[in-house]
Homo-oligomer: A and B are copies of this chain.
């Protein structure tokens, strides 16, 4: 049924060792033999069995990638960078959708281990201690992307979230805003939650501006979350002329609620997002945001998972000024 190396060897009248040498571009055969074998391969439609190769110790050239939501713009861009780089290096990518809470991660780790993947890229947000322990026990390279280990000592690729949030907040401050609302993620989240909040606080403190707790809310980074938070601000009668939302989707949600409430952006309210996904470009008005180089981060994560190297790869964020920020009217 299946064509194997034995069939090729038989058809070309050589040994299976010779076929293997030819297929793998090793030395030790004549050009005449090579022609015979390649001809037989083509006629039979032989395709080497990667499973057998893996069994005799060859690399599987497969990595696993754990992402919280493959259909999000954020994760999609990471995945694109990972996959493009993997392809360039002859690797394939098993994608695992862990769900927003990462609850499905453990099952995936078992499966990836059985398939003997060469490494795992973990971009799944919150890591539990169980997950960290299990990742360590696998004894294969693990790299975290856009996050860093809550447990264990895995290398990671990320921006400086505190500094990025600091710069975003300072952008609003430089435009003269002093009453700035903030929508963050959960403070328990050590990457997207707390450091972005701290960056915001630090920028406000540097200008000796008081922190008004009624201008602080925490969401889940989704479009709907941003819409809800902004709606709550408005219903609570909160007074602010600018808002920093720590994801583009939340920021676009804010734009939505503002649109519905007749709040003009940027005339009445300046808004800054975080990530620079396609959502920021597609927003009306086009969203000013602090950019994480998601695609490049994905590439770097792949490079790191197949080679040893730095434990901390910090990528540069940068401000992308579009049309949602205006100086405060005096």
- Cβ contact within 8 Å between A116 and B79: no
- Of the residues B79, B108, B283, contact of A71 by C-beta under 8 Å: B79
State which of B80, B93, B96, B284 has its C-beta within 8 Å of the C-beta of A256. B284
Q: Which of B48, B55, B73, B137 contacts A114 (CB 8 A)?
A: B48
Does the CB pair B283–A282 fall under 8 Å?
A: yes
The reply to whether A51 and B47 form a contact with Cβ atoms under 8 Å apart is: no
B55 A52 Cβ-Cβ under 8 A: yes
Query: Interface on chain A toward B: helix, strand, loop, or mixed SS?
Result: helix
A150 interface residue per 8 A CB criterion: no
In the complex, which of the residues B50, B70, B110, B256 contacts A83, with contact meaning CB atoms closer than 8 Å? B70
On chain B, the residues within 8 Å of A304 by CB distance are: none
Q: Which of chain A's residues 109-141 have a Cβ closer than 8 Å to chain B?
A: 110-116, 137
Considering the chains assembled together, what is the distance between the CA atoms of A97 and B76 in angstroms? 11
- Does A151 lie at the interface of the complex (its beta carbon under 8 Å from any beta carbon of B)? no
Q: Are B71 and A76 in contact (CB under 8 A)?
A: yes
A157 close to chain B: CB less than 8 A: no
0/1 interface trace, chain A 280-294, chain B, CB 8 Å (1 if under): 011111100000000
B92 in contact with A115 (CB, 8 Å): yes
Most buried by B among A51, A93, A285: A51
Once bound together, how far apart are the Cα atoms of A75 and B281, in whole Å?
A: 19
Chain B hits for A137, CB < 8 A: 45
* A108: chain B residues within 8 A (beta carbon): 87
A55: min CB distance to chain B, Å: 5
Which bucket holds chain A's interface residue count?
35 or more
**B-chain residues with CB within 8 Å of residue A191 when the two chains form the complex:** none
Bound-state CA distance A79–B60 (Å) is 23
Residue picked from A77, A83, A282, A286, most chain B C-beta under 10 Å? A282
* Assembly CA distance A95 to B82 (angstroms): 11
CA distance A52 to B95 in the complex (A): 22
Query: Is the pair A94, B97 in contact by a Cβ cutoff of 8 Å?
Result: no
Residue numbers in B under 8 Å from A221 (CB-CB)? none
* A202 adjacent to chain B (CB < 8 Å): no
Contact with B along A243-285 (1 / 0, CB 8 A): 0000001001101100100000000000000000011011111
Instruction: Please provide the 10 A-B residue pairs with the shortest distance between their CB atoms, ordered closest to farther.
Output: A71-B76, A51-B54, A71-B80, A50-B114, A284-B284, A95-B95, A50-B115, A51-B51, A83-B97, A76-B76
Show 7 residue pairs from A and B whose CB-CB distance is below 8 angstroms, ordered by the A residue.
A49-B114, A62-B115, A71-B77, A79-B95, A87-B96, A92-B94, A92-B112
19 new A-B contacts, CB < 8 A, other than A45-B137, A47-B110, are: A49-B116, A50-B114, A51-B51, A51-B54, A51-B55, A51-B116, A52-B55, A62-B94, A69-B80, A70-B83, A71-B79, A83-B96, A84-B97, A87-B107, A92-B111, A92-B112, A92-B115, A256-B284, A259-B284
